[in-house]
Structure 1
Amino acid sequence: MRPRIRGGRTTVLAALLSLTLAAPIAAAQAQDTPPSRPAPGAAQSAEVPRQYEVTGPSTPTERTALTSTGVSIDEVHTRAVVITATRAQAAGVRQLGYGLRTLPAPPKDTASPHKPRVNDFPAGYTKYHTYDEATKEIDALVAKHPDILSKQVIGTSHEGRDLLALKLSKNVTKDEQEPEVLFTAHQHAREHLTVEMALYLLNEFTSKYGSDSRVTKMLDSREIWIIPDLNPDGGAYDIASGDFRSWRKNRQPNAGTDEVGTDLNRNWDFKWGCCDGSSTNPGDETYRGASAASAPEVKVVSKFVHGRKVGGKQQIKAAIDFHTYSELVLWPFGFTNDDTGPGMTQDDHDAFATIGKNMAATNGYTPEQSSDLYITDGAIDDWLWGDQRIFAYTFEMYPSSFGSGGFYPKDSVIPKETARNREAVLQLLEIADCPYRAIGKEGQYCKGS
């Protein structure tokens, strides 16, 4: 996840926080004053990180510097950000001269205080799917629609859970010469709404094929791939106690330390660790891993994408990686502030931006280049474009802010907030055969398409 709100958007955070922050903030802050960040080998994984409002950072450079403390940035406003941090990391942010306010902890299951719903979502969130529930629903859909939906196990997670790739197409058992589009979800464990987004797409495409002309045309002329859960281990850990743990990374141990987890969306093998856009500390929220694609989940999906090359030509033309939160449509690059970094021409950039803005116009998200907010390296959309020339986007889904639910919006929002992206997804599918058509240059780039 790289959750953000466009820097120029009117800041409403202060008003939201005034309604949610309780009086004991000063006491909470007093607990957040360790003298410095721990050494890489020091254990802090057992601590549930907290979110904080940080007042002051207002430029991409300042926000990038903020990430050097090991925090993840969850929201961006004109002169404030929301971060996730341990107590030690919060102290490091204060040492940079910024003021912090501690935000309320993740929701707890108050319905059954003596019998928590272990390994399940708390009350108010039970319509979210656990890994097992999602797998059961997927299997039912495959059984019901075998002519247009198939399932592949493309590998396993660190803890041995199957990583699935679902294919949707008219002749689903054949590998046809059709443009392919990839949708991925749940790189970050606490972003459970993204799994619901993947399930929505599976249900929408299977139920509307043959009755909805646009859906039918896309399945007749595209091969659609959905990887619904890149981080099943982290997702299971986030809810294992019956309360949310605000867990972000996977569950892979880090050799030589007591720390667990790699930030999957800093582990992809393009500009990995290049540009101060990730952390070398295994205890940090944005730990990039021991090496590029060292996380088993990243390795599996990388191999799958590479496997979609036919005759040296990548068949996947476009992609969306779903995250939460902040309501953004983002495109590469994240590792550089340049609009046209290495490997991207002006026409490439213009096509990215035009398609991104068109999609954002349908769902009300804010469109921008990833690095407009701060630098990230080793992210999936940079890898998909930089390594594979796939027009790849990141969608930061609902809500827009911590005050509206942050990483844990109630399950009542699932139908509306997944359907909200239907038009954007269809637009990307429709232009995937020739993205340069968005800037009127299909004759130059897509002859014969």
Structure 2
Amino acid sequence: MRTSSRRTAVAVAAACLTLAAHAGVTAAAAPAGGTGDTRAIYAVPGTDVQERTAINRTGALVLSVSGGEAVVEATPEQAERMRAAGLAPQRRASVAAELARRGQGAPGDFPPEDRGYHNYDEVVAELGAAVADHPDIATLTSAGTSHEGRDIPVLKISDNAGQDEAEPEVLFDCNQHAREHLTTEMCLRIVERFTDGYATDPAIAEMVDSRELWVIPVVNPDGSIHDVASGQYLGWRKNRQGPGTDLNRNWGHKWGCCGGSSGNPNAETYRGTEPWSAPETAALRDFIDSRVVGGEQQIEAAIDFHTYSELVLWPFGYTTDQVTEGMTQEQYDRFERVGTEMARTNGYTPQQASGLYITDGGSLDWMWAEHGILAFTFEMYPAQGGGLEGFYPPDEVIAEETARNDEAVDVLIREAGV
């Protein structure tokens, strides 16, 4: 059992670690997946929200939580900081060993046993084919370009896709974090279902006829490509701007406010030099801002897909308060109601985002605070994992684990019209 003195020690140590990170004295992390990669997977038993937040503030990263046990990715130095904060990390395996369990594929592609996943070029080809096959209900544009100059493709699905109609809009985006490739497959599932199913499924036709759907399968194309550039997984999370920015800590609302991101460029949760310093987040901001028509935001609801932990999350991530600035009780109750309804359909656990650990500068909080979008984050399969392998489920699960969210997607689309 945790004592109050231990909680105090954790809080004090975490504050010191945060100051150290701001001062730039945190040890540099080794290159992801390289021969000098010193990262390992640790289990930290009996944690609560405060302690998991403290873990992240050491520069380590909580990957999943089950029964209070946190599975953590950390360097030996970060593990020592956890111990200094009163935690008890137990080493399980090296990250390099976990990544090496998969076979070696061709450069720039997935390992051979995971060829069911789509690389960036294949995603673009799939989107182009959807438009070619369904030109009346699908159009393809770009939200902007990545740090390395790649398009961030956006597919629109609606009964008159070439026109801007006065219909509720819903946004689905995937792959903010490079190694979360299952999310890209989730967005492709949505594209396939709402285009190929339009002519044969009356329920899908009704949603397409009465809504405008936007799908962004690869928010982080450079990072996604880099993660499989060698033909073997690298465990890469961030974009490719210098040492990399965590895109989901770079959004403008409460950026860097609350110890839910890092100022150390080597940290996995590095928030960037300022809000929107990553071109990928700036591109999505500009796209979402562009949907303000006649002074009103047309996007009414959104899901940002991530892996892993099987969670349905809603704002806010920067505070554990339910009712606070920008969130009334009535608004919170709606988030909880819709989130719980979606979770009933897919078996995920519904909770406020900060229930996992504190984050700041996330897309979820910005979409709601800036635009009043009913925005959720889904953490997909698996519910828990041994570590990095949780980000790389075998391609045999793609069909089942993406179809698992069909009903939840439908719930949100219909809620957008309420």
Q: TM-score, normalised by structure 1?
A: 0.83
Cα distance in 1 for residues equivalent to 2:192 and 2:28: 45
1:352 counterpart residue number: 335
Structure 2 Cα separation of the partners of residues 140 and 148 of structure 1: 13
- For 1:144 and 1:394, the matched residues in 2 are separated by 30
CA distance in 1, matches of 2:102, 2:165: 52
Check the 8 A contact 2:99/2:235 in 1, yes or no: no
Structure 2 residue corresponding to 1:295, chosen from 261, 272, 278: 278
Q: Distance in 2 between matches of 1:265 and 1:193?
A: 17
CA, structure 1 residues 49+285, in 2 after alignment: closer, same or farther (shift >3 Å)? farther
1:410 corresponding residue in structure 2: 394
Q: 1:50 to 1:419 in 2, by over 3 A?
A: farther
Q: Secondary structure at the match of 2:114?
A: coil
Where does structure 1 lack aligned partners over 5 or more consecutive residues?
Answer: 1-35, 254-259, 435-449
Letter in 1 for 2:392: Y
- How many residues were matched structurally? 390
Match 2:157 to one of 136, 145, 168: 168
Q: How does 1:261-340 map to 2 (within 5 A)?
A: 261-340=244-323
- Matched-pair identity in %: 51
Give per-residue Cα distances to partners, 1:131-161, cap 9 Å, x unaligned: 0111111111111111000000221100111
Q: Answer 1 or 2: which has greater helix percent.
A: 2
RMSD, aligned CA: 1.8
| Alignment partner, residue 100 of structure 2 | 108
CA change 1:291–1:123 in 2 (3 A) is: same
Structure 2 gap ranges (5+): 1-19
Specify whether residues 153 and 75 from structure 1 end up closer, same or farther in structure 2 by C-alpha distance, changes over 3 A only.
same
Deviations 1:276-326 (A, max 9, x none): 100000000100100001100000000000000011110000000000000
CA contact (8 A) 1:333 1:341 kept: no
Q: Which residue of 1 aligns with 2:234?
A: 245
Q: Which residue does 2:349 correspond to in 1?
A: 366
Tell me which amino acid in the other structure corresponds to 1:229: V
Residues 1:43 and 1:346: Cα distance change in structure 2 (over 3 Å):
closer
Q: 1:218 to 1:207 in 2, by over 3 A?
A: same
C-alpha change, 1:187 and 1:391, in structure 2 (3 Å) is: same
Residue 65 of structure 1 and its aligned partner are, at CA, apart by: 1.3
Query: 1:342 aligns to what?
Result: 325
Deviation at 1:110, TM superposition (A): 6.0
Task: Give the corresponding residue for 2:84.
Answer: 95
When the two structures are superposed, what TM-score results if normalisation uses the length of structure 2? Answer: 0.89
Contact 2:66 2:384 in 1 (8 A): no
Change (3 A) 1:242 1:80: same
Aligned residue type for 1:206: T
CA contact (8 A) 1:192 1:235 kept: yes
How many angstroms apart in 1 are the aligned matches of 2:152 and 2:288? 13
Could you report, residue by residue, the CA deviation over 1:194-229 in whole angstroms, capped at 9, with x for unpaired residues?
A: 000011110111111022121101110000000110
